[in-house]
């Protein structure tokens, strides 16, 4: 089979602080021919996610290796198999993988590819509500927070891919949901479709003290569960209002990802002790073994219209840096995805 030549996005240099567009470069790229146990895919959709910022710090040890300046960036992709050296896949299959993104064509191990059904949901949904963000939301809620009917759940970054599903699943469990997002449009959607009982536009508040006051008014009996996506003043406000025996799922702290210096720990962290609070950090790979259970619960809810999702769509691989930078400016509404190619070749 002839080699497939396309394009890929590379880093020209590692960012210091907020990444700049001129630190990314679109280059020619040729996907290597697949070897035994591998498949070659034509990318249709790719994802940008906040965790990728951590992979742009080559001097920091983390749960995933840093990016290289000598190879394309990497991440989630949905594509069409065009050549297979694996018995489990054939040309024409649609697959999702957490590897192979940021390029037109990718050659990946069959072990990191999973078939998806374009009839069940739009292909892009497998990078969002039915993909790793969805599993992240479901796992943090069900494995750590475990909300009970009548409890109050606070979700920061609630209009994003993870937060919006947390809100809806918590509401379906009978919880009272307080959401925080960065625009009136997002707050309105959260109230109408996203499962929120109260939606706070955090841009209306100058500091943690003001947000804490608004949160106290929305939750006079305190917050039983906090799903942490943002950090900063959201974390401080949540600590100020956490209830006795509350639970905090530490998923992300996007407001701090581009900080050049560490932020001080809020004094309210002492409430974790005084109020007997469980606070647990997690990454989605901790719960990959529960992916079938997640899919069995969420996919039917999506098909029944009980779960809604939004996407911010960027057209063309060259727009991937814009999509990524938009994550840190609050530009995305729901899951940020990039259309790399047509559904059918």
- pLDDT per residue, tens digit, the chain (345 aa), is 556 889 999 999 999 999 999 999 999 999 999 999 999 999 999 999 999 999 999 988 877 889 999 999 999 999 999 999 999 999 999 999 999 999 999 999 999 999 999 888 999 999 999 999 999 999 999 999 999 999 999 999 999 999 999 999 999 999 999 999 999 999 999 999 999 999 999 999 999 999 999 999 999 999 999 999 999 999 999 999 999 999 999 998 887 777 777 778 889 999 999 999 999 999 999 999 999 999 999 999 999 999 999 999 999 999 999 999 999 988 889 999 999 998 876
Helices (H) and strands (E) in the chain, counts: 9, 15
- The CATH code for residues 132-285 is 3.40.50.720
- From residue 144, how far is each of 225, 277, 286 by CA, in Å? 9, 12, 12
Question: Where in the chain do CATH 3.90.180.10 domains reside?
Answer: 4-128+309-339
Mention the CATH class of domain 4-128+309-339: alpha beta
Distance CA 249, CA 279 (A): 6
Question: Where in the chain do CATH 3.40.50.720 domains reside?
Answer: 132-285
How many C-alpha atoms does 327 have within 13 Å on its Cβ side?
30
- Give the dihedral of Cα atoms 278, 282, 286, 287; nearest 10 deg: 70
pTM for the whole structure: 0.90
């Amino acid at each position: 089979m002839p080699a497939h030549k396309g394009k890929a996005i590379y880093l020209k240099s590692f960012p210091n602080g907020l990444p700049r567009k001129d630190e990314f470069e679109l280059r020619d790229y040729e996907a290597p021919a697949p070897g035994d146990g591998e498949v070659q895919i034509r990318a249709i959709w790719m994802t940008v996610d906040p965790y990728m910022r951590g992979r742009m710090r080559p001097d920091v040890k983390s749960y995933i290796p840093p990016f290289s300046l000598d190879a394309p960036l990497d991440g989630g992709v949905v594509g069409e198999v065009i050549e297979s050296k694996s018995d489990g896949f054939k040309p024409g299959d649609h697959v999702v993988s957490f590897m192979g993104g940021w390029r037109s064509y990718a050659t990946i191990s069959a072990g990191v590819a999973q078939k998806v059904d374009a009839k069940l949901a739009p292909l892009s949904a497998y990078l969002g509500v039915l993909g790793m963000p969805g599993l992240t939301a479901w796992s943090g809620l069900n494995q750590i927070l475990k909300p009970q009917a009548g409890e109050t759940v606070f979700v920061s970054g609630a209009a994003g891919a993870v937060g919006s599903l947390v809100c809806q699943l918590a509401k379906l469990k009978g919880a009272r949901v307080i959401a925080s997002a960065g625009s009136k449009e997002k707050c309105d959607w959260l109230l109408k479709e996203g499962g929120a009982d109260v939606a706070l536009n955090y841009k209306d508040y100058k500091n943690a003290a003001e947000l804490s006051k608004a949160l106290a008014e929305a939750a006079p009996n305190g917050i039983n569960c906090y799903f942490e996506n943002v950090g900063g003043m959201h974390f401080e406000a949540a600590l100020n209002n956490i209830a006795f025996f509350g639970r905090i799922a530490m998923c992300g702290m996007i407001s701090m990802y581009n900080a050049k210096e560490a932020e001080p720990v809020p004094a309210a962290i002492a409430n974790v002790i005084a109020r007997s609070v469980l606070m647990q950090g997690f990454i989605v790979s901790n719960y990959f073994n529960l992916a079938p259970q997640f899919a069995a619960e969420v996919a039917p809810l999506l098909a029944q219209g009980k779960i809604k999702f939004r996407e911010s769509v960027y057209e063309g691989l060259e727009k991937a840096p814009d999509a990524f930078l938009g994550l840190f400016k609050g530009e995305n509404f729901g899951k940020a995805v990039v259309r790399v190619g047509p559904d059918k070749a």
